[in-house]
Structure 1
Amino acid sequence: MNKKLKIGMTITGHYTIPPPKDIIYAPMVIAKAIAEGLTKRGHEVYFFAPKGSKLEVSRIISGDIKPLHGIRGKKELKILSGKYVGPVERGKIYFLWDQYFISLMYKTAIKNNFDILHIHPIDTAIPFGMAFEKIPVVYTLHDPIYPWRAEVFEIFSSKNQYLVSISDAQRKPAPKLNYVATIYNGINLKLFPFSAKSKDHLLFLGRLLPTKGPDIAIQAAIKAKEKLLIAGTPTSGQYWETKIKPYLGENIKYVGNIPYNKTFKYYGQAKALLCPIQWEEPFGLTFAEAMACGTPVIAFKRGSVPEVIKHKKTGFVVEPYNKKGEINIEGFVEAIKKIDQIKREDCRKWVEERFSLERMVLEYEKIFLKIVNRHR
């Protein structure tokens, strides 16, 4: 290591780190891993997060604010549960919590001569970066780059602000932004031990949303005459009532939301993880987690899927639509029937080579050192 850096980091003011058990928030897993990994590498990492957060870093700075999740529904924010508060208004309230920690981080960084900042909520933070041009800042992009987001990045761009994409596919909508690297998300392989043998069922694990495609996974499993376990955040509403609940039974079972530290058991027991995604997935952390356990992944060819899954080696990458322009459930069924062709050892090896936590931390360290040297 060439230089010991003083780094400020933040991700959200909504939740403590780690988040409550009922919350699935993959970017927080990554943010925590990077922060703790760089601390172990000898850097001074100051993480700005709500009271109650627990990380193995140099210092956690919380100010005077509790996490939004912790006071929601109480007197302080009774308005959040009001019938007149829509998603736009609610989003504005969420932004206030992020902005508090971002402003606190900049204030602390200036006072204590931080070398670099690493921020995850870019939509909230990028105007701050433009206003404080002397401090280099890196943003990790966790979401798709929609046209409006690309335009905002361009408007508030400045020479001290750099973007890290988590896949090459993520860059396609806006290839000319100020990217400094593509760094694939990494996972702690100790938390996802290899399982040489599986049980006789398939798995869907993730948020139960149309974009994740649990309803398609159900239909594919039924047509393939396979058993399917569905694990994910409990949900209600028309989607659950019409697309998922009617099919639950002996062969299609819903097992509820699984705590993150227990997901490896479900990955390791499955013949395959089904990911019939209906959006341009920026990375897909569950793909890597499943493969680390030896479980092949079947996913539609959307977003980063071809980068994360090696077709016919660690799973199957399926064309999302058939010749009629319909969702290609039959392609998924064909892949399910071929799943025994995949060697579970190959899945594990692939993740060890490309998606380890250690590799991710080293790549962030390399980029941070490069940027800091550039701004001296």
Structure 2
Amino acid sequence: MRIAVLAHVRQPIAPPFRGGMEAHSWHLAEGLRARGHDVVLFASGDSDPRFTLDAVIPRHQEATFPGQEHTGDPALVAHLDAGYAAACDRIAAGGFDVVHNNSLSRLPLARERTRRVPTVTSLHVPPYDALRWFVHDSVVPGHRLTVTSHGQLRAWFPDGAPPQASVLHNGIDPADWPYHDRGDGSAVWCGRITPYKGTHLAIQAARRAGIALTLFGSTEDGAYWESKVRPRLGGAIRYGGHLDGPSLAAEVGRASIFLFTPCWDEPFGLVAIEAMACGLPVASFDRGAAREVIGEAGAFAPPDDEAALADAIGRAFAIPRRTAHDRVRRHFTHDVWLDGCERFYAAAMQDGTPGAPQS
């Protein structure tokens, strides 16, 4: 198949990844290419040059509009709209069999676009007002919607999901996150260091539990880093930097416990399954899709409760490392995920013939 992968453009689609959406789009394009598909990645122009790349905007959003995500800045909205509108036009004229839409733009959801090219849209976020109506209006033949968890499906469609919407769990290649049969007694936390990821709560819970903790990730929210995270470093709490995939996997695999601390309704939690593949049980806030994804590999605490999370750390130590690894092998592998993507592409192509009228 000739496939257009349309990505979010807040950050480059290139390692080291700034977050799960960037990792998702990169692994999607790479995995489909490895399966013999003709893939064009529509992303920021500073994304990974190893792909056949068609630039939505010349440089990623944070390079030109730093810190403006979700602010409604008219200049940013106009910049993104112009980029996505032109990219959608190029996709429509490009002879693609299907487009996999990973953007957060409303434009690829429009019926006049999905009737021209069969579309699969993957929703990586909970519903929010700027996108909700457009998602609901886009439910037509030729357009399939996927979400990453059953909790996210209920959030987007509280009155019941339409047949075009389905759960497709994210997946990873376990070879990228090698299993370690024992840890060094420490904890690890990974992710984008921002308030809604709860980095400061992971630090406070680790101190309460008396366990060493290493943080990894990008420090894109400078004010949060300076006020809530950096002052709490020292002693057994350290920052290990923003590492490439192999280096991060090696560091994670050495630890004994992974801390997962979402302060929002996290739709999936890719970092958790990466750590689980390495063999780490998880101490987690029970929020969003955490329990659905982590399951028997985790010990849970009420949201934002650092004292309860410290207790969960102790309980997580009793969970065998093999339990965490085996759960990923059963449910969250790269191949299972890509198989699902290909099924949805075929369904979208069968549902809607480009050019046919739709309701």
* TM-score (structure 1 length as normaliser): 0.82
Q: Which residue of 2 aligns with 1:32?
A: 26
1:171 is aligned to: 153
Partner of 1:305: 290
Query: Residues 126 and 156 of structure 2 are in contact (CA less than 8 Å); yes or no, is this contact kept in structure 1?
Result: no
For the 8 Å contact 2:119–2:345, the answer to whether it is kept is no
Whole-angstrom distance in 1 between the partners of 2:4 and 2:69: 33
> Conserved in 2, the CA contact under 8 Å of 1:206 and 1:232?
yes
Q: Which one of 305, 310, 313 corresponds to residue 328 of structure 1?
A: 305
Task: Name structure 2 gaps, 5 residues minimum.
Answer: 354-359
The answer to whether the aligner puts 1:373 opposite 2:350 as a matched pair is yes
Q: Per-residue deviation at 1:48?
A: 2.1
| 1:77 paired residue number | none
Does 1:8 find its partner at 2:21? no
Identify the range of structure 1 (36-45 vs 47-56) with the bigger mean alpha-carbon deviation. Answer: 47-56
Match of 2:357 in 1: none
* Amino acid aligned to 2:79: L
RMSD of aligned alpha carbons:
2.9
**Matching of residue 17 in structure 1 with residue 16 in structure 2:** no
For structure 1, which segment, 229-238 or 247-256, has the greater mean C-alpha deviation from structure 2 after superposition?
229-238
Alpha-carbon distance between aligned partners in 2 of 1:275 and 1:60, rounded to the nearest angstrom: 34
Residues 308-334 of structure 1: per-residue CA shift (max 9 Å, x gap): 1113xx1212232xxxxxx43232122
Q: Choose which of 106, 113, 134 in structure 1 pairs with 2:116.
A: 134
Counterpart of 2:39? Answer: 45
| Higher normalized contact order (CA 8 Å, seq sep 6+, divided by chain length) | 2
Corresponding residue number in structure 2 for 1:61 = 54
For 1:135 and 1:43, how far apart are their aligned partners in 2? 17
Q: Which has the higher mean CA deviation after the structures are superposed, 209-218 or 280-289? A: 209-218
Number of equivalences: 350
Q: 1:46 to 1:148 in 2, by over 3 A?
A: closer
| Match 1:264 to one of 215, 225, 249 | 249
How far 1:197 moved relative to its partner? 1.3
Contact 1:147 1:173 in 2 (8 A): no
Equivalent runs, 1:157-306 vs 2, <5 Å? 157-175=139-157, 176=160, 178=162, 179-234=164-219, 239-306=224-291
* 1:315 maps to 2:315: no
Which residue of structure 2 lines up, in the alignment, with residue 109 of structure 1?
Answer: 92
Cα distance in 2 for partners of 1:9, 1:236 equals 28
What's the CA shift for 1:32? Answer: 2.0
The answer to whether the 8 Å contact 1:14/1:67 transfers is no
Aligned equivalents of 1:209 and 1:220: distance in 2? Answer: 17
Percent of aligned pairs with the same residue? 25
Cα deviation 1:155-211 (Å, max 9, x = unaligned): 455443321101111122232455432111111211110011111211121222221
Q: What SS does the corresponding residue of 1:138 show, helix, strand or coil?
A: strand
The whole-number CA distance in structure 1 between the counterparts of 2:154 and 2:69 is 31
**Partner Cα separation in structure 2 for residue 87 and residue 281 of structure 1:** 17
Q: TM-score, normalised by structure 2?
A: 0.86
The 1:291–1:91 alpha-carbon spacing in structure 2 relative to 1, beyond 3 Å, is: farther
Q: Structure 1: which amino acid aligns with 2:27?
A: A
SS at match of 1:123: coil
How far is the alpha carbon of 1:256 from its aligned partner?
2.5
Structure 1 residues 98 and 290: CA distance shift in structure 2, 3 A = farther
SS at match of 1:211: helix
Whole-angstrom distance in 2 between the partners of 1:140 and 1:370: 14
Bigger CA drift: 181-190 or 139-148? 139-148
Task: Label 1:37 to 1:239 Cα distance change in 2 as closer, same or farther (>3 A).
Answer: closer
Question: Larger Rg: 1 or 2?
Answer: 1
Aligned pair in 2 of structure 1 residues 329, 95: CA closer, same or farther (>3 Å)? same
Q: Counterpart of 2:83 in 1: which secondary structure?
A: helix
Residue range with higher mean Cα deviation, 94-103 or 131-140 = 94-103
Name the counterpart of 1:75: none
